[in-house]
Chain A
């Protein structure tokens, strides 16, 4: 077990890759065996993630040096700086790892029936697992260039998956927009990384953070990194691709795209808090992120009210929820240098944002799965053509209601637990932000009242009289999300204590992140 945990950080990335390349071979022989291998493999990965999370929270940061003679040898003998690829897993990383593990498992379970009947399923699972491996890699790596490579892996496999149903014109267009936006963003990320490399001859995040001077070139790199990752996570005004892409992808892919966006948010925070840290103009950069967040909240929700396409409506709601996280992180970043402010409300704001990340992945995932279930049965996403579905699809309606209430931040669901942390802490920073946040939450409720009303309520429409409930595996996938949402809603204190506080502490503790890498060298 100790050996397994020692190697777990790389196994979590490598096992999905291994299964990804095994699936075409197994899939040629038997479809059932392939599905079983994928599910068993991802369950094993999820188990490893939880074991690693326990270890990291108890024993501190976990490093893994690829290709060295020992996993913990971060700086080779005779060298002054790390030269190999190093995985560095701290509290935030395992937190994101838990998000990716849960969501990927649910996505695969859901795909079992939702993708039934599509051609080229072997390729579908290969790409899906590549995307999962890329998402795990993005959150576990301690190396900037490696981060870029994993970002590209998720982008390319994600775009191929968005456009997987080739018979729909709009999904081709969504895939095209996604790959163009991702390619531009990741190339600019690489440009920023090369700007940093030009000055410090380093690619490792910890080593770079130790050497950071915050020169003019560093500022340019910072601007590019903020803009690129904000585009990847769908911050306004760079959010337009998000609604186009999320609304047309197969829903099991959309829930994974959400976690990839969350991984971009993680990368943005890793760069802000750890790579640049206190050398930044904290107030300015914090306010830039807060401004993107406020715009995302407001424009996201007002656009969501207007939509008549159900997945597009939820996609705009995603933009809005990302805004809440950005505001939380922005407030945390703005007060990073001020110890009293950081202790009184800064860490609470970061905790709220981190807690909201997992809640966001859960309830938006649930909502998208419900939208996919409706599309699976009636073949349209248009709210104008729906009505009375609640009479026949009872479970689906209940799940939609649960996700909608959680997303609107109504007590006692998990969305409220994380939003109240953000409201209370942000209020002490600037009350106006909290007022906007509460207003946005109210409009969010209006958004979902509209969607629920026009899809599920009313008399049964004659054309949908013989609509049945969706298959059992789809119900199972939605149930996993629903159960976790209820647990998180009932015991938010436990979740915050177990995984959110360690993540917050890791994010504000730049020194220990650097020391784990640089260790012996002062």
Chain B
């Protein structure tokens, strides 16, 4: 079957995957259908409830991109402090890294030649 990208142990066929996915979706829909239908559009049921307080406007409700994953960055603060300090944005430092990579790989190759 040409649709299979074989790779040693497993195979990957998106068509079979899609069929399986569709079957699972049908089953899920079946279970969902058996639930209780109480949802009505346009009533108080669908409005935002904030402990009776007045709901702020869209600008205030929006979670800003910079605030997403706050805890993740807080946990990895040390890693990020170190890694951001390396990204100086100065063009001279870019050349430094280039020369450093050249030097390190040259040393590695030299050691390999001397040892082997």
**Measuring CB to CB, which residues of chain A are less than 8 angstroms from any residue of chain B?**
176-177, 180-181, 184-185, 188, 216, 219-220, 222-224, 226-228, 230-231, 237-238, 240-241, 244, 281, 284-285, 288, 292, 299, 302-303, 305-306, 308, 344-345, 348, 352, 382-384, 386-388, 411-412, 416-417, 420-421, 424-425, 428, 446, 450-451, 453-455, 458-462, 489-494, 496-497
Contacts and interface: CB of A to CB of B under 8 A. Distances in A.
A227 B109 contact: no
19 contacts: A184-B98, A216-B113, A219-B109, A222-B109, A223-B106, A231-B98, A231-B101, A240-B87, A302-B83, A352-B7, A387-B62, A425-B8, A453-B68, A454-B63, A459-B58, A459-B61, A459-B62, A493-B3, A493-B5
Contacts of B88: 240
A281 B116 CA distance: 10
Interface of B: 1-5, 7-10, 12-15, 17-18, 21, 57-59, 61-66, 68-69, 72-73, 76, 79-80, 83-84, 86-89, 91, 93-95, 97-98, 100-102, 105-106, 108-110, 112-113, 116
A173 B45 CA distance: 53
A453 B8 contact: no
Contacts of B110: 219
A428 B87 contact: no
Pairs A-B, 10 closest by C-beta atoms: A383-B65, A454-B65, A412-B14, A459-B58, A387-B62, A424-B7, A227-B102, A384-B64, A450-B68, A223-B106
A184 B94 CA distance: 10
Contacts of A237: 86, 97, 100-101
Contacts of A281: 109, 112-113, 116
B61 A489 contact: no
Nearest to A235: B101
A386 B83 contact: no
A494 B3 contact: yes
Contact of A458 (B12, B58, B97, B113): B58
A460 B91 CA distance: 40
A492 B91 contact: no
A305 B83 CA distance: 13
Given A240-B93, A383-B65, A458-B58, A303 B105 contact: no
B69 A305 contact: yes
Contact of A425 (B7, B18, B94): B7
B91 A176 contact: yes
Interface of A is mostly: helix
Contact of B62 (A180, A421, A451, A458): A458
A276 B45 CA distance: 70
Contact of B10 (A184, A238, A417, A420): A420
A306 B10 CA distance: 35
Contact of A493 (B2, B62, B87, B93): B2
Nearest to B79: A302
A288 B105 contact: yes
A411 B17 contact: yes
B95 A184 contact: yes
Contacts of A417: 5, 12, 14
A444 B25 CA distance: 26
Contacts of A306: 73, 80, 84
A428 B98 contact: no
Given A412-B17, A494-B3, A238 B65 contact: no
Given A219-B109, A411-B17, A496-B5, A384 B66 contact: yes
A412 B17 CA distance: 7
B114 to A, nearest CB: 11
Contact of A461 (B14, B62, B69, B73): B62
A228 B21 CA distance: 45
A460 B61 CA distance: 10
Contacts of A241: 91, 94
Contacts of B21: 412
Nearest to B18: A412
A214 B44 CA distance: 78
Contact of B102 (A224, A458, A496): A224
B19 to A, nearest CB: 11
Given A220-B106, A493-B13, A240 B94 contact: yes
Contact of A238 (B72, B97, B108): B97
Contact of B101 (A181, A238, A453): A238
B49 to A, nearest CB: 15
A303 B85 CA distance: 12
Given A223-B105, A421-B5, A458-B62, A303 B68 contact: no
Contacts of B17: 411-412
Given A285-B109, A411-B12, A454-B68, 7 more contacts: A180-B94, A188-B98, A226-B105, A238-B98, A388-B58, A420-B12, A428-B8
Contacts of B3: 491, 493-494
Nearest to B68: A450
Given A460-B58, A493-B2, A308 B66 contact: yes
Contacts of A461: 58-59, 62
A191 B34 CA distance: 73
A285 B108 CA distance: 9
A383 B62 CA distance: 11
Q: Which of A180, A348, A387, A462 has the most CB of B within 10 A?
A: A387
